[in-house]
């Protein structure tokens, strides 16, 4: 993984003494952007984020991965449509960044900016009922952990630390609004098992590829999928609840709490129930992504290489 934002160099290419000033320079530049984004009215900040994402995305080394992911989902789309979706995807990255740095402002104005919607069949989250919450990198996904403070729950949240430690600390300051522990992706499962044993709920983002996952259909193609949420829910007798957020007009947001995912056959072997529940999660993500493809964050390879070769 690249160690620097504004350089193609990787960690092994830069000696330790040079890495620190490069990190500090990057953090200063990103800090300046953060200051501008936070100084603007919210709608202006989101618009600036979209513009920055659109402009910087044109130079991103991940542009081919994004287009390839979209080509799998929209196999019949022509080149102009794929280009449009790719540009929109990078604009979405910029909007997500602006949303992150303004999380506390959005939370403080939640009565007018943020609504929590319990979908038909959903149950009201409560601290008395531990739950495995799952979400996807779709729309304003960074709003989903706010169900914790909204419903009086402490929900450890998994996240991917930034390679730059100074930027990582900067962004984690904005995540402090979750009022919950942040669990680094590496080794996060141990922390989640411990939390569940203590009666807490947990939250995971599970639409990304795992090298050690299990193959589950995603848009009709086999994809390595994180089945741990289903395993944990069955092991600890928890609800498995998808939570997805959407953007509304006027700089407003809605967090949708979906009904619990349950296995179709309660008498089936445990592994079969796990795969069934994981398929249901992927199917929900598919429907939501098809409804808002421009808001799907898909910067990394999601399927095996042979799937991309088939759709090339």
Is residue 158 in some structural domain? yes
Cα separations in angstroms, 197 against 181, 194, 237 = 16, 5, 11
Taking the model in full, what pTM does it have? 0.91
Is residue 4 in some structural domain? no
Contact 124, 118 (CB under 8 A): yes
Query: For the chain, what is the domain count?
Result: 1
Residues 6+ apart with CB under 8 A from 5: 26, 30, 164, 167
pLDDT at position 67: 95
**How high is the mean pLDDT in each 10-residue block of the chain (312 residues)?**
52 63 89 96 96 91 93 95 96 96 96 96 95 96 96 90 89 93 80 92 89 89 94 96 96 97 95 97 97 93 93 87
10 Å CB burial of residue 63 (0-12, 13-18, 19+) is middle
Domain that includes residue 41, residue range: 11-311
Is residue 6 in some structural domain? no
pLDDT at position 164: 87
pLDDT at position 189: 82
Contact 261, 232 (CB under 8 A): no
Q: Please measure the distance between the N-terminal and C-terminal CA atoms of the chain and give it in whole angstroms.
A: 25
pLDDT at position 98: 97
Question: Is the Cα dihedral 173, 138, 111, 52 positive or negative?
Answer: positive
pLDDT at position 68: 96
Q: What's the token pair of residue 98?
A: 């602006």
Q: Helices in the chain by DSSP H: which ranges?
A: 16-39, 42-57, 63-73, 79-101, 103-108, 110-113, 147-150, 165-175, 188-197, 228-235, 270-291, 305-311
Is residue 3 in some structural domain? no
pLDDT at position 212: 75
Residues 6+ apart with CB under 8 A from 21: none
pLDDT at position 2: 46
Is residue 87 in some structural domain? yes
Which residue is associated with the tokens 């944990």? Answer: 232
Reduced to 3 states (helix: H, G, I; strand: E, B; else coil), residue 92 is helix
pLDDT at position 12: 44
Contact 238, 245 (CB under 8 A): no
**What backbone phi and psi angles, to 5 degrees, belong to 160?**
-100, 110
Residues 6+ apart with CB under 8 A from 192: 156, 158, 183, 202, 204, 232
Contact 125, 147 (CB under 8 A): yes
Q: Helices in 40-150 by DSSP H: which ranges?
A: 42-57, 63-73, 79-101, 103-108, 110-113, 147-150
Which residue is associated with the tokens 């330790």? Answer: 16
Reduced to 3 states (helix: H, G, I; strand: E, B; else coil), residue 9 is coil
For residue 11, the tally of other CB atoms under 10 A from its CB is 12
């Amino acid at each position: 993984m690249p160690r620097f934002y504004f350089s193609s160099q990787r960690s092994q290419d830069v000696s330790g003494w040079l890495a620190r000033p490069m990190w500090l320079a990057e953090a200063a530049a990103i800090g300046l952007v953060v200051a501008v984004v936070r100084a603007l009215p919210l709608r202006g900040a989101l618009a600036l984020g979209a513009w920055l994402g659109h402009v910087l995305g044109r130079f991103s080394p991940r542009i081919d991965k994004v287009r390839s992911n979209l080509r799998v989902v929209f196999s019949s789309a022509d080149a102009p449509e794929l280009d449009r979706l790719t540009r929109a995807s990078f604009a979405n990255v910029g909007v997500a960044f602006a949303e992150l740095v303004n999380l506390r402002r959005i939370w403080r104005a939640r009565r007018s900016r943020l609504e929590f919607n319990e979908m038909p069949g959903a149950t009201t989250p409560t601290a008395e009922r531990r739950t495995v919450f799952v979400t996807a990198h779709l729309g304003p996904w960074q709003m989903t952990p706010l169900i914790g403070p909204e419903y009086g729950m402490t929900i450890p949240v998994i996240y991917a630390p930034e390679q730059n430690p100074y930027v990582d600390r900067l962004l984690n300051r904005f995540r402090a609004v979750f009022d919950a522990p942040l669990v680094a992706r590496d080794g996060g499962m141990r922390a989640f098992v411990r939390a569940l044993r203590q009666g807490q709920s947990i939250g995971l983002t599970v639409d990304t590829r795992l090298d050690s996952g299990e193959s589950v259909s995603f848009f009709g193609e086999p994809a390595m999928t994180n089945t741990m949420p289903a395993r944990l829910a069955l092991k600890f007798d928890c609800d498995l609840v998808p939570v997805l957020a959407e953007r509304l007009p006027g700089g407003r947001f809605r967090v949708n709490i979906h009904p619990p995912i349950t296995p179709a056959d309660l008498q089936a072997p445990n592994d079969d129930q796990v795969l069934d529940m994981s398929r249901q999660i992927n199917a929900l993500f598919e429907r939501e992504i098809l409804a808002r493809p421009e808001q799907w964050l898909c910067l990394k390879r999601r399927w095996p290489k042979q799937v991309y070769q088939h759709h090339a």
